[in-house]
C-alpha cells in the first residue's frame, strides 16, 4: 500500500489543514499524558519549516450534546504552544465565518487549532457538507491522526477526497512499525484487551482469534463478558447490547481452541471515585451495589505464565481504573509482565500508553502506538478508512 505523504505536497505559502489525534487524557482540565501531542510534532514542525500556515483539527472524547467546555481542545493549544515555543491560536469553533477569517489571516509559520470537530454530529456521520466546510479552510490536507484512522469521519476521511492530501510522519511511522507483525507474527501471540470501549473493541476480538493462542480480557470489558456467562456484576460497567456478541465470542474462541482468560477475582468500590476504598473480592461474582474497578491477585496469577510464554503480546486497554491510585495495581502488574516477557510487545491506545508512561515502562516495549482501536483493526488486516483515503 503506497501512501501519498508530506513530500508529495507543496506546502510553501499554503494553508495546511492537518488532522491530528489530540484525544489526550485529562484530569480536572489538565493533560495527564501528552504522548499524542508529542507524536504529532515532527509533522507540525516540518509543515511550519516549509512555510505553511498550519490549521490543526482534532476530536477530544465523545461529546454527545454539542459544544461542552469539558471537551474543549483549549488545554491542547496551551500544551502545544509550550512544546513549540510559540503561541498556538485557539479557534472558537471548527467551522463558520469567524473561523474562516482566522484561517484566512493565519501567517506562514503560525498555528491555529480548531475547536473539537465532534461538537458537530456531522463529523462522525462523515457528512459531505461538513467535510466541505472544513476543507474550505485549507489548500492542502495532511492526516497524521493514526489513533483515529479507523474512523471514517469527515475530518479523517471526507476531507481527504476534497483536497490534495498526504500522510504525516506519524502515520508513516506507525504503518512501518506494524508491517513485520502483519507479514510474520512471532507466535504464540497473546492479546490483552481491557479498557472501557466495549462496543468499539469487542468486534475486533473475533478477528484476532485465528492468530492468538490466548486472549486475556480485563478492565471494563470484563463485566459484559462475565454477565454473558451468568455471573453477577453489581454496578460494574456494562454494555447490555453486546451481551450476545460476548457470548458468541466465547463460543468461537472455544471452537478455535483459543484460551480466554477472564478475571476470577476483583478489586471493587462502592462508588466510581478517586477516594473510594479498594475492597478485594475473592470471587468471580461482583457483590450487589459494588463496581468492579480492577482485577484481583488470583487473576494476575493466571495471566502471568501466559504472558511469560508469549512471543508477541498486543495490549490495548487498561486492566482497571489505573488513573485512581487505589485501583492501579492490576494494570501496573500486567504492564510489568508485558515489559518483561522478552517477546515483541505492542502497546496501543491513549490510556494504555498513559498507563505505560505512568509506570515508566515505555522504553521496555517494542512499539508504543498512539492508536488503540486503530492498531487492533490494522493488525487484523482491515483497511483503515483514514489511511485508505491517502493511498497514492
Ligand atoms: N473496570 C473498569 N470500569 C470502568 N472503567 C474502566 C475499568 N477498567 C479500566 N477502565 C477505564 O478504561 C479507560 C481506557 O479505556 P480505552 O479508551 O478503551 O483504552 P485505550 O485508550 O488504551 O484504548 C480508562 O480511563 C480506565 O479508567
Ligand atoms: O482514543 C482513541 O482511540 P483508542 O482509545 O482506541 O486509542 C482515538 O482518539 C479514537 O477515539 P474514538 O474511539 O472515540 O473514535
What is d(CA 80, CA 70) in angstroms, rounded to the nearest whole number? Answer: 18
Q: For 176-379, give the CATH class.
A: alpha beta
Instruction: Give the contacts of 262 (CB within 8 A, at least 6 positions apart).
Output: 217, 222, 225, 226, 229, 284
Higher pLDDT pick, 378 / 149: 149
219 lines ligand 1 (CB under 6 A): yes
Q: Is 131 exposed, middle or buried (0-12, 13-18, 19+ CB in 10 A)?
A: buried
Q: Which residues of 52-67 are buried (b: 16+ CB within 10 A; e: fewer)?
A: bbbbbbbbbeebeeee
22 Cα–ligand 2 center, Å: 10
Can you name the residues that pair with 239 across neighbouring β-strands?
none
Q: How confident is the model over 231-254, as pLDDT tens digits?
A: 999 999 999 999 999 999 999 999
372 Cα–ligand 2 center, Å: 7
Say what the pLDDT of residue 53 is. 98
Q: How confident is the model over 78-128, as pLDDT tens digits?
A: 999 999 999 999 999 999 999 999 999 999 999 999 999 999 999 999 999
Higher pLDDT pick, 200 / 147: 147
Per the structure block, which three cell numbers stand in for 294?
480492577
Per the structure block, which three cell numbers stand in for 380?
487484523
Ligand found nearest the CA of 354: 1
For the CA atoms of 369, 372, 377, 379, the dihedral, rounded to the nearest 10 degrees, stands at 40
DSSP string, 23-59: ---EETTEES--HHHHHHHHHHHHHHHTTPEEEEE--
Higher pLDDT pick, 151 / 1: 151
Per the structure block, which three cell numbers stand in for 358?
505512568
pLDDT above 80 (res 1)? no
User: Would you put residue 78 in left (φ > 0), alpha (ψ -120 to 50) or beta?
Assistant: alpha
Instruction: Give the contacts of 215 (CB within 8 A, at least 6 positions apart).
Output: 190, 191, 193, 205, 208, 209, 253, 258, 259, 260, 261
Substitution candidate for ligand 2 out of 34, 39, 60, 147 with most atoms within 8 A of CB: 147
Tell me if 151 is assigned to a ligand binding site: yes
Q: Tell the CATH superfamily of the 6-169 domain.
A: Phosphoglycerate kinase, N-terminal domain (3.40.50.1260)
Task: Taking residues 291-296, report their average pLDDT.
Answer: 98
What is d(CA 222, CA 264) in angstroms, rounded to the nearest whole number? Answer: 10
Tell me if 323 is assigned to a ligand binding site: yes
Say what the pLDDT of residue 211 is. 87
The domain locations on the chain are 6-169, 176-379
Query: Which of ligand 2's atoms lies nearest the C-alpha of 61?
Result: 14
Substitution candidate for ligand 2 out of 19, 20, 22, 23 with most atoms within 8 A of CB: 23
pLDDT above 90 (res 203)? no
Q: How confident is the model over 152-173, as pLDDT tens digits?
A: 999 999 999 999 999 999 999 9
Helix (H) or strand (E) holding 207: helix 198-208
Tell me if 304 is assigned to a ligand binding site: no
Q: Distance between alpha carbon 326 and the CA centroid of its chain, in Å?
A: 24
Task: Taking residues 2-22, report their average pLDDT.
Answer: 96
309 Cα–ligand 1 center, Å: 26
Q: Which ipTM was obtained for this model?
A: 0.96
Confidence band for 201, pLDDT divided at 50, 70 and 90: confident
Query: Rg (Cα) of the chain, in Å, rounded?
Result: 21
220 lines ligand 1 (CB under 6 A): yes
Task: Taking residues 63-77, report their average pLDDT.
Answer: 97
Query: Which of ligand 2's atoms lies nearest the C-alpha of 59?
Result: 9
DSSP string, 266-335: EEEESSSSTTPPPEEE-SSSBPTT-EEEEE-HHHHHHHHHHHHT-SEEEEES-SS-TTSGGG-HHHHHHH
Task: Taking residues 205-223, report their average pLDDT.
Answer: 93
Q: Pick the residue whose CA is nearest to atom 12 on ligand 2.
A: 148
Residue 354: closest CA among 50, 39, 106: 39
What is d(CA 387, CA 172) in angstroms, rounded to the nearest whole number? Answer: 10
Q: Which residues are catalytic?
A: 36, 197, 350, 373
Tell me if 36 is assigned to a ligand binding site: yes
Q: How confident is the model over 337-349, as pLDDT tens digits?
A: 999 999 999 999 9
In this structure, are residues 215 and 316 in contact, taking their beta carbons and an 8 Å threshold?
no
Tell me if 121 is assigned to a ligand binding site: no
Whole-number Cα distances in Å, 350 to 26, 46, 225, 310: 11, 24, 23, 24
What is d(CA 321, CA 334) in angstroms, rounded to the nearest whole number? Answer: 13
Q: Is 337 exposed, middle or buried (0-12, 13-18, 19+ CB in 10 A)?
A: buried
β-bridge pairing 279-281 and 266-269: antiparallel
Residue 106: closest CA among 5, 200, 201, 18: 18
Q: What is the mean pLDDT of the chain?
A: 96
Give yes or no for a cis peptide into 188 (omega within 30° of 0). Answer: yes
Residue 359: closest CA among 373, 344, 339: 339
Q: What are phi and psi of 123, to 5 degrees?
A: -60, -55
Please say whether the dihedral angle defined by the alpha carbons of residues 352, 354, 359 and 365, taken in this order, is positive or negative. Answer: positive
DSSP string, 142-204: EE--GGGTT---IIIIIGGGTS-EEE-HHHHHHHHHHHHHHH---SSEEEEE-SS-HHHHHHH
Say what the pLDDT of residue 179 is. 85
Q: What percent of the chain has pLDDT over 90?
A: 92
- Range in 28-37, 306-315, 360-369, 373-382 the model is least confident about: 373-382
Q: Is 73 exposed, middle or buried (0-12, 13-18, 19+ CB in 10 A)?
A: buried
Amino acid at each position: 500500500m503506497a501512501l501519498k505523504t508530506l513530500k508529495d505536497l507543496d506546502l510553501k505559502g499554503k494553508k495546511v489543514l492537518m488532522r491530528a489525534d489530540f484525544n489526550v487524557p485529562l484530569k480536572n482540565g489538565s493533560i495527564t499524558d501528552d504522548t499524542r501531542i508529542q507524536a504529532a510534532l515532527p509533522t507540525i514542525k516540518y509543515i511550519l519549516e516549509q512555510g505553511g500556515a498550519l490549521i490543526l483539527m482534532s476530536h477530544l472524547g465523545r461529546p454527545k450534546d454539542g459544544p461542552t467546555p469539558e471537551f474543549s481542545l483549549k488545554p491542547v493549544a496551551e500544551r502545544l504552544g509550550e512544546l513549540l515555543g510559540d503561541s498556538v491560536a485557539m479557534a472558537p469553533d471548527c467551522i463558520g465565518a469567524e473561523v474562516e477569517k482566522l484561517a484566512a489571516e493565519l501567517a506562514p509559520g503560525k498555528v491555529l487549532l480548531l475547536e473539537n470537530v465532534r461538537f458537530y454530529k456531522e463529523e462522525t456521520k462523515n457528512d459531505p457538507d461538513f467535510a466541505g466546510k472544513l476543507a474550505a479552510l485549507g489548500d492542502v490536507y495532511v492526516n497524521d491522526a493514526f489513533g483515529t484512522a479507523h474512523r471514517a469521519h469527515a475530518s479523517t476521511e471526507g476531507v481527504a477526497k476534497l483536497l490534495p492530501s498526504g500522510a504525516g510522519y506519524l502515520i508513516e511511522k506507525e504503518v512501518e512499525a506494524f508491517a513485520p507483525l502483519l507479514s510474520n507474527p512471532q507466535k504464540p501471540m497473546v492479546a490483552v484487551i481491557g479498557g472501557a470501549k466495549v462496543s468499539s473493541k469487542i468486534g475486533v476480538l473475533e478477528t484476532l482469534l485465528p492468530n492468538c493462542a490466548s486472549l486475556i480480557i480485563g478492565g471494563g470489558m470484563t463485566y459484559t463478558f462475565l454477565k454473558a456467562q451468568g455471573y453477577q456484576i453489581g454496578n460494574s460497567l456494562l454494555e447490555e447490547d453486546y451481551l450476545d456478541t460476548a457470548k458468541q465470542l466465547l463460543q468461537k474462541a472455544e471452537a478455535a481452541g483459543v484460551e480466554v482468560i477472564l478475571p476470577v477475582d476483583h478489586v471493587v468500590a462502592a462508588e466510581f471515585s478517586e477516594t473510594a476504598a479498594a475492597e478485594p473480592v475473592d470471587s468471580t461474582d461482583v457483590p450487589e451495589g459494588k463496581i468492579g474497578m480492577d482485577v484481583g491477585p488470583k487473576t494476575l496469577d493466571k495471566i502471568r505464565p501466559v504472558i511469560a510464554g508469549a512471543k508477541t503480546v498486543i495490549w490495548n486497554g487498561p486492566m482497571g481504573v489505573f488513573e485512581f491510585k487505589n485501583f492501579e495495581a492490576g494494570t501496573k502488574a500486567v504492564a510489568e509482565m508485558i515489559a518483561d516477557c522478552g517477546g515483541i510487545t505492542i502497546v496501543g491506545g491513549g490510556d494504555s500508553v498513559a498507563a505505560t508512561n505512568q509506570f515508566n515502562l515505555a522504553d521496555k516495549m517494542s512499539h508504543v502506538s498512539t492508536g488503540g482501536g486503530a492498531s487492533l483493526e490494522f493488525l487484523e488486516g482491515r483497511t483503515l478508512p483514514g489511511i485508505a483515503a491517502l493511498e497514492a
